[in-house]
Amino acid sequence: MALTDNDILWAWAILDAYCGLYIYRFHWLPLISNMIPEHAYHRLNPSLKSDIEAGIRIMKGQRQRLLKNRIAADGRPMDPRAVFLP
């Protein structure tokens, strides 16, 4: 399929539009940002203390469960009779 003069004209028009929008973005971006409602974005809690504590609690429980099932921290069974295949 060959490009026609009309296709090339549209390609140049789109390229010009993109270049114009990029060059003048500081003029139209504030107008767009005013259209976005504030309630559409919620900030995360800056304090991650509760998340860290929950993660540590999960890791402690995981470690205790692994030890109860006789599995070492590296994931290998602590049973001396265990056979490992390559």
Give the residue extent of every domain in the chain.
1-36, 43-85
> Half-sphere exposure of 41 toward its Cβ, with a 13 Å CA cutoff?
6
For the stretch 36-85, pLDDT in tens is 776 766 666 777 788 888 999 999 999 999 999 988 888 888 888 888 77
Determine how many CB atoms are found less than 10 A away from the CB of residue 77.
Answer: 13
Give me 38's structure tokens. 């504030």
| Segment 18-33 mean pLDDT | 91
Does the pTM surpass 0.85? The reply is no
